[in-house]
Every structure is written in structure tokens, then in C-alpha cells.
Amino acid sequence: MRRIVSFAIVGVLVGLVTVVESGTSLATAPSGFGANFTYRATLDPFHSTSGSHSHPGPAFVIVVQGTATKYSAGDPSCTGHQVPAGQGFVELPGDVHIIRNEGTTRVVTEVTLFGVPVGGSFRPDAPRPGSCAF
């Protein structure tokens, strides 16, 4: 009886492994798929800037190194919001902003963009906001 139970357990385990592995082996490989609008931006220390710009769709930004300071054109007080490494933020479509490095460490960001039309600009330049002196 023990032998039958042992064979049954082994059989069930082999069946489970086969079912789990068949999902992987039956999957199709990706084709024509990728993150075409993910890019890395680097701002050198001592007040370098991204320039005033916007994006046609939302942009998800992660600060990988340093501290980025974000200024919104719509803020009449031109108050910078510091974002340290390990933190991130979302830039809404059409939101004119400037990202600056106001520290002594190079700022590196990883940015993923959505809603960029084929052949279109992912980063249209914008006039300098009147509320900021830079």
C-alpha cells in the first residue's frame, strides 16, 4: 500500500511540474514590442538644467542618483520641489516644467514616456516661464 501511495505522490508531482512548465514552453516570444520611449537623462552638478519643456503624454520619472529639483511653469512663486535618489514623480501631459541639478552630485534620472505619437517629439521645448529667473 505504501508503494502505491508513493507512486501516486510522485505521479502528482510530475503532473504538476509538467503543467507549470507547459505554460512557459507554450508562451510566444515578443515581436515588435519594447520600451521605445524610456530614456536616461543626466544633469551635471552646479545648476545644469533640462530647459523648459513638456511632454505629449504622462512621463514617469525616477531619480537614480543625486537630487533633482522640479519647477512648474504654472507656479507663480517658482518654488522648487526636491526629489532625491530613490524617489520619483509624474509629469502630466502638457505640464511645462524645468528639472534642475542644484547640488554638487550628478543627477541621473530614468524616464518612461507614454502617449508619444509615432514620429512625434517626446519633449517639446517651451518658453521660459516668467515666474522663474532662470
pLDDT (tens digit per residue) in 9-61:
545 444 444 544 544 455 555 555 444 445 566 666 767 888 888 889 999 99
φ, ψ of residue 5 to 5 degrees: the values are -65, -40
Residue 23: in which H helix or E strand, if any? helix 2-25
Max intra-chain CA distance, the chain = 86
- DSSP calls for 26-91: TPPPP-S---TTEEEEEE-TTTEE--SB--SS-EEEEEEESEEEEEETT-TT---EEEETT-EEEE
Residues 50-71, buried b or exposed e (16+ Cβ, 10 A)?
bebbbbbbebebbbbebbbbbb
Q: What is the mean pLDDT of the chain?
A: 76
Q: Does the 38-113 domain belong in CATH 2.30.30.790?
A: no
pLDDT for residue 35: 46
The pLDDT score that the predictor gives to residue 3 is 60
Q: Residue 2 phi/psi, 5° resolution?
A: -60, -35
pLDDT digits (tens, 9 = 90+) for 58-105: 999 999 999 999 999 889 999 999 999 999 999 999 999 999 999 888
